[in-house]
Structure 1
């Protein structure tokens, strides 16, 4: 999940100022965690402490109300109601990476990914995006090769993971749907040579850059099993203490440091 948080922070300053190059400074004063990080840590907290996904997400929203949530989640978080709002947005996918690290089989990962999504994103596409991302993380950390991982995700979810990034960049626009976020983010990982390269490639797509980099970073972290110290130290330094504490506890328990 640290890869997801790193991707979010690195991509944050490009969300409303997209670029289409891998040549950029990783961190500036404008690089900060967003709702992607807050809700990723919330899912990790829920798993770590055995609390409900819905209640924990709401608690984190109330602690960090200005993290940049989408409109649907914002209304849900502010409401006393707990019903999901049938979202197909990429929020279910950007927060799910802890599931891929914490559970020990594809079946459990798929089940928990659905649970974590369905408290808000109960639309079939919202659930599919979460499941595809969590399964990709699980397969990556379990030793799957890139070709086998891509084949499994494509056959199970019907996503196109073969279109190269050079082609995707031509018409990629800001799109918050799972179906237009998860496949290009996974393609960025598939074309990468290491963790940093995966994040840079995801950001270079333009569009919802923090979420693209969050998803690509999660899978790249699981696959390469290494985040450069310079990146890791900067990421941990930019997390507020409660977020850093939960992240560290989770990663120590599930060996994702």
Structure 2
């Protein structure tokens, strides 16, 4: 989960000021956590609130995630949420609205640590997505990211992870260098999740993965959050990056992150 937060914070200053190169200041003073980190922590908090048996009850999982997203959204009302998601947060009744945006995939990382097999991880990813993003592409994006994280943290190599993605979700045989110049802002899962996964596949360490993700421009904080969440599971997060990222969170978000790592076996 810290990998997603690092990616979000590093990418935060480049979302509206795209930098089409891997050469950029990694953490700058004006970096900040965005809605991506807030909702990532919200999903983790929801899962932490459930007992081990409760995690097998679809309705309980959906209910916990829904409640957490609303609570966090209302507690951080000025974050840069998408317009439909913000309406959902403050609605009298929270019904899924058919989104295929990448919000389902950027917040999903913790689900990969609350199940003991790939099938269970994909189920939790689907449940966490469909409270808002019940479009097939919204669910697909969340499952793809969570599945990559699970495989990475359980020892799969990049070839196996790529095969998983290409067999069930997206083609990722392209090169980032070949599409970087033409790639534009795209908040759909299908337009951004493959970019994040490709950044992970091309990178050779945690930092290079995040740099590649940001270098694509577009929705840079979210792409970097998704790529960073996978890279954490594969490479780990350098301690110095974790320290800086956590220092940018407020005390409430930091406390949930701490509880998450105390409970899960990374």
Normalising by structure 1, what TM-score?
0.97
Cα distance in 2 for residues equivalent to 1:160 and 1:248 = 35
**Among 190, 196, 209, which residue is 1:185 paired with?**
196
1:14 aligns to what SS in structure 2?
A: coil
**Among 240, 249, 252, which residue is 2:262 paired with?**
252
Cα distance in 1 for residues equivalent to 2:113 and 2:201 = 19
2:13 aligns to what SS in structure 1?
A: helix
Cα distance in 1 for residues equivalent to 2:124 and 2:239 = 31
Cα distance in 1 for residues equivalent to 2:181 and 2:34 = 27
Matches within 5 A, 1:106-125: 106-125=118-137
Structure 2 unmatched ranges of 5 or more? 51-62
**Following TM superposition, by how much is the alpha carbon of 1:141 offset from its aligned partner in structure 2, in angstroms?**
0.3
Does 1:161 find its partner at 2:172? yes
Structure 1 unmatched ranges of 5 or more? none
Cα distance in 1 for residues equivalent to 2:118 and 2:65 = 20
Asked if the contact 1:168/1:184 (under 8 Å) is kept, the reply is no
Does 1:233 find its partner at 2:243? yes
Q: Which residue of 1 aligns with 2:117?
A: 105
Aligned residue-pair number: 254
Matches within 5 A, 1:38-53: 38-50=38-50, 52-53=64-65
Cα distance in 2 for residues equivalent to 1:31 and 1:125 = 30
Does 1:70 find its partner at 2:87? no
Cα distance in 1 for residues equivalent to 2:126 and 2:94 = 16
Cα distance in 1 for residues equivalent to 2:115 and 2:40 = 15
Asked if the contact 2:20/2:181 (under 8 Å) is kept, the reply is no
1:180 aligns to what SS in structure 2?
A: helix
Does 1:138 find its partner at 2:150? yes
Asked if the contact 2:49/2:64 (under 8 Å) is kept, the reply is no
**Following TM superposition, by how much is the alpha carbon of 1:43 offset from its aligned partner in structure 2, in angstroms?**
0.4
Normalising by structure 2, what TM-score?
0.94
Asked if the contact 1:90/1:176 (under 8 Å) is kept, the reply is yes
RMSD: 0.9
**Following TM superposition, by how much is the alpha carbon of 1:235 offset from its aligned partner in structure 2, in angstroms?**
0.4
Cα distance in 1 for residues equivalent to 2:11 and 2:198 = 16
